[in-house]
Structure 1
């Protein structure tokens, strides 16, 4: 009996601690967004929300396309994991079509089963491949993904900078890419390219925001914002920027520090556990 009582106490305590964390995290987010620099409606932080993204990326992506418009409702995402928590599932639900490239074989098997309806209808293409700067353009070509697309999301926990630098067969209007928030502007840092790199859950990955800003400028993109957890940076092709986003388009203006401790809050902010099934868009 005492064991049962102790388990009930532990369960109640854990629920209380989780509730307390959620309340504190929401209060912290509200406090951050009350800062005067975030009150400019041309900034993006205040528009963030989670549907299926890891944090608040879904809302920021929606706001960007609200401003620049949608051309062909197409996306590419690599590092799609199991598909239930990424930057493009919410778009898939809205009728977009696209390509997921995922290195994990188990993840791909899960996707083929869970997203069978989307895959069989060709709304979603899936490629199981470990991405390098030597194969990325061929992967696009093999899947008939060339020319202009609306969104490219890059999250491979390492060679992100080098892969983006190499891409030349597609012309995304918007790019979402993970940055290494350990290195604050004006720090210049790019992880040395290693075609066999896998993330070891350390701070050795990818590139600083300043280095990505410089690469973006070279490739014809402007940095227009970062999400509040300091995880992803958002770039818009310079011919689409106009006066729609806050200037200057620099890492110093948009940098967010690593607030990875907020990610568990966003994990619950999307409501019930994520899933995918047949649905009617009407």
Structure 2
């Protein structure tokens, strides 16, 4: 007959082994449940993102359809129209394509640019021109954006093709910052500073670019001339109150000797060509806000195709 103590120990060991096995089984099940929960959360998040994108695209398509109901489609079919010129490499929308077509028509000279509010150097108006051998000046005040510029455009800065100024622009300092660093007649000026855009352009009487790409406030009707009051430290607060309407920019351009030749189809940027280079054989007339206005279609602003490269 077995020793009762030995029997008890054996039974206890067997019970412990069974408990350990069951505990490990429970832990394995808990790990499986946790992994499944993470997978479900990831799938749910992906579904939410896809639904949000579908809603955005649907809203954009609906808005565009409503816009087109009141649009003269013949204006877009005109061979001189620039609104939907194809091309988007670094630009927010199709500025790359519109500028390429403008310079195809008027030619290039010194292949220099000035971009004020150059962003992060990955998405902006003139980065493609750097890749194509142009040179110029970027001005940007944002800390994160400046760090990105130094990282992604360092080789251009080192080679001297790009001058980068990390500073906020206002009417008082724009001449001292820009004039010493660029030819007085560069091929292109790009302005997108959200708030004081029109005031800075008006103050740049020392510069005579051949082409100007400038952000406008499409919320205002094309016949309304509106500018926000100048504030040296003014900043966009995410509302409809920013910059200047297309008509205001048309009038400023006219005073400076420029004609409005196009807006991109998203209602973000307006394009001006110097009067000595502009005529009705090269660009679509009349050169007015009423003719070239595009309403804001910000919901449709996105990168088509592959992501941008740095």
TM-score computed with the length of structure 2 as normaliser: 0.81
How far the C-alpha of 1:146 sits from its partner, in A, is: 3.4
- Structure 1 runs (4+) deviating above 3 angstroms are 14-34
Q: Distance in 2 between matches of 1:203 and 1:77?
A: 24
Q: Which has the higher strand share?
A: 1
2:290 pairs with 1:256: no
Give the match's secondary structure for 1:75. Answer: strand
2:122 pairs with 1:84: yes
Q: Distance in 2 between matches of 1:94 and 1:206?
A: 30
Runs of at least 5 residues in structure 1 that lack an aligned partner in the other structure: 276-282
Q: Which protein has the larger Cα radius of gyration, Structure 1 or Structure 2? A: 2
Distance 1:67 1:24, change over 3 A: farther
RMSD over aligned Cα atoms: 2.2
Runs of at least 5 residues in structure 2 that lack an aligned partner in the other structure: 1-32
TM-score computed with the length of structure 1 as normaliser: 0.89
How far the C-alpha of 1:105 sits from its partner, in A, is: 2.8
Aligned with 2:98 (options 56, 60, 79) = 60
Q: Which has the higher helix share?
A: 2
Q: Match of 2:180? A: 142
Q: Match of 1:125? A: 163
Cα deviation code 1:198-218 (max 9, x no counterpart): 111111111110011011010
Kindly indicate whether the alpha-carbon contact (under 8 Å) linking 1:51 and 1:270 is maintained by their aligned counterparts in 2.
no
Q: Distance in 2 between matches of 1:77 and 1:10?
A: 41
Aligned with 2:51 (options 17, 25, 47) = 17
How far the C-alpha of 1:29 sits from its partner, in A, is: 9.9
Q: Distance in 2 between matches of 1:23 and 1:155?
A: 25
How far the C-alpha of 1:67 sits from its partner, in A, is: 0.7
Aligned with 2:82 (options 44, 57, 75) = 44
Q: Distance in 2 between matches of 1:19 and 1:159?
A: 32
Distance 1:133 1:114, change over 3 A: same
Q: Distance in 2 between matches of 1:10 and 1:94?
A: 43
2:232 pairs with 1:198: no
Q: Match of 2:220? A: 183
How far the C-alpha of 1:17 sits from its partner, in A, is: 3.2
Q: Match of 1:245? A: 283
How far the C-alpha of 1:26 sits from its partner, in A, is: 9.0
* Equivalent residue runs for 1:75-114 within 5 Å: 75-114=113-152
